[in-house]
Structure 1
């Protein structure tokens, strides 16, 4: 498997090398930002695909070993197999996040008109129940007739990531406020604010960098994915934070010209 992987990567590397030779000549311009991102995305997808195949086999066999060991009361083997499976699942999750990030800028398909108020109310309802044990309360201020254009699954993932981060930042007994309003110049603004400890100013510039994380088990890809989703929707993101005063995020997305389901 390693030998096959190496051969495929060498071929890919050679193609990139040949392309770079043609790109960096005086007669032709350098790769644009979008072209560079596209190449990085293709490389990430290549690595993720090659890693996922053997990883699927590892997970499958550890599940089998765990089941057989438990049936035969071999507790040590069952315990070790369980640890291997859990760690393999973590890698699988990281691969999925990496694939999501790599594909985000390549296309923006499945476009539709998104009812912002409807999506936010649904997500708040779900996470109100999930954060109930931590006594985290939600407050909302959602104007009606708020419509944007984009991929609804991506948009809801964006909001879910930000609300999950807000909830995880609060240890216990806190609030998360969600607001959506119309702004001048035909924009929709979404504000998400939490009462957590906030983020030091020196870290604010880094939190949207891939793989940067302050969490013990974080991948560091959640916020970069959020940033990519906003960019595909021609939107903008602003963030404010002060120590012990929580964190506030503002998402600005152009208002849709339509209010029907199909673009």
Structure 2
């Protein structure tokens, strides 16, 4: 069994390595920042405990008044650093708080907001008990500071930023790779077309020479001329790569049927080819005929290879809703596994020893970028065969497409 070749496998490995590194950096950053948040939370709790001790000095009847200025300073610092606190007595009556309100705020509004904040604080943290002497006890409730709240969300923001940066890096890498591939393909295609020009001119001269030889069977000269014309078509295709193609209205069935008739004589005689037309007569699509035939050729030749040169190949032309037309190309080959259904369109992917893995890639690009259609594997079963589907937009001339259609089945 032949192994699949993927000449871009190393680049895929590089992308995986980059992604893993980004994941490791993001995870390390998340753990480290969470540790900082925990330490800051512990620090703020100790700070509020210090604030509680200051309140003891303020409200304890036996406290030394000489240190009142120190406790006032601690209370001021707590207010300045904005760790919102509310001190209540044993009856849950608010004694003191460090909230600030705009001048002129009604007392009722202040009381209501303080009660709401107190309820939220009770949900957030256990209160800090304040023993004020004479067996009296108060409680301090508090919110996290704005700094702590920001730090709690910072790791997730940081991770999101890193993921975004990684995604942008991936897009840049992929775009650069595609641009590089496009430059290689365009350069190779145009150079191939240029190199074919000289021998083609010579071959045409030889065909004319054979026609002047009475001993030469003219049918042979005709067949040689067909193949020379075919080579000219291939050269024109290659020269079209990298350029904006001209699309013209074409009868899809006639285009496909004529090309399959030509192709059938140049592949294995053990492969039976059929064209099934379910389209209403007179329906057209805008295509570049030379490039579109190239797509059909690539898919059909891949199908013949998958069948080992023996089997049947059926091309169906089907009308779809929204003025779309489907071209289904079905073979009786070895099929494609589910894992490889998307890989078949990757550049460099091939199951043949001497395959370049560019045929289906070029076909997909021609259909999707030049014809605004779609090319994909509709279905496949290992050991039974594969169906490729091409979707194109139908050109309606003079009327809306009818729902009914007729069927024409002809051997190519």
Which range, TM-score by smaller chain? Answer: 0.5 to 0.7
Whether the aligned pair in 2 keeps the contact of 1:181 and 1:188 (CA below 8 Å) is yes
In structure 2, distance between residues paired with 1:159 and 1:228:
13
Match of 1:245 in 2: 384
The CA RMSD measured in Å over matched residues stands at 3.6
Partner of 2:250: 114
1:4-56 deviation per Cα after TM superposition (whole angstroms, max 9, x unaligned): xxxxxxxxxxxxxxxxxxxxxx9xx998899758843663268649998xxx7
Provide TM-score, normalisation by structure 2. Answer: 0.40
Which ranges in structure 1 are unaligned for 5 or more consecutive residues?
A: 1-25, 61-95
Give the secondary-structure state (helix, strand or coil) at the position aligned to 1:225. helix
**Per the alignment, in what secondary structure is the counterpart of residue 130 of structure 1?**
coil
Match of 2:263 among 124, 127, 147: 127
1:223 offset after TM fit, Å?
Answer: 0.5
The 3 A distance-change label for structure 1 pair 152 and 37 is farther
How far apart, in 1, do the equivalents of 2:190 and 2:371 lie? 30
What's the offset of the Cα at 1:125?
A: 1.1
Q: Residues 76-135 of structure 1, C-alpha deviation per residue, up to 9 Å, x if partnerless?
A: xxxxxxxxxxxxxxxxxxxx99x959x74x5432221122111111122123223353x1
Contact preservation (8 Å) 1:108, 1:151: no
Q: What TM-score do you get using the length of structure 1 for normalisation? A: 0.60
Rounded Cα–Cα distance in structure 1 between residues aligned with 2:181 and 2:309: 39
* Contact 1:190 1:250 (C-alpha < 8 Å) held by counterparts: yes
Count of aligned positions? 187
Equivalence for 2:273: 138
Confirm or deny: 8 A CA contact 1:146 1:181 kept in the other structure. no
CA distance in 1, matches of 2:320, 2:267: 30
Match of 1:189 among 303, 326, 333: 326
Distance 1:195 1:226 in 2: 21
Alpha-carbon distance between aligned partners in 2 of 1:187 and 1:146, rounded to the nearest angstrom: 11
Which residue does 1:92 correspond to in 2? none
Q: Structure 1 residues 236, 48: closer, same or farther in 2, change over 3 A?
A: closer
For the 8 Å contact 1:100–1:225, the answer to whether it is kept is: no
- Specify the alignment match of 2:85 in structure 1: none
- Secondary structure class of the residue paired with 1:197: coil
- Alpha-carbon spacing, 1:255–1:218, altered in 2? closer, same or farther (3 Å): same
What are the residue-to-residue correspondences of 1:46-65 with 2, within 5 Å?
Answer: 48=188
Aligned partner of residue 166 in structure 1, secondary structure? helix
Q: Distance in 1 between matches of 2:183 and 2:275?
A: 41
When residues 49 and 249 of structure 1 are mapped into structure 2, their CA distance, relative to the original with a 3 A threshold, is: closer
Question: CA contact under 8 A between 1:186 and 1:254: conserved in structure 2?
Answer: yes
Matches of 2:291 and 2:184, distance apart in 1: 19
Change (3 A) 1:209 1:49: closer
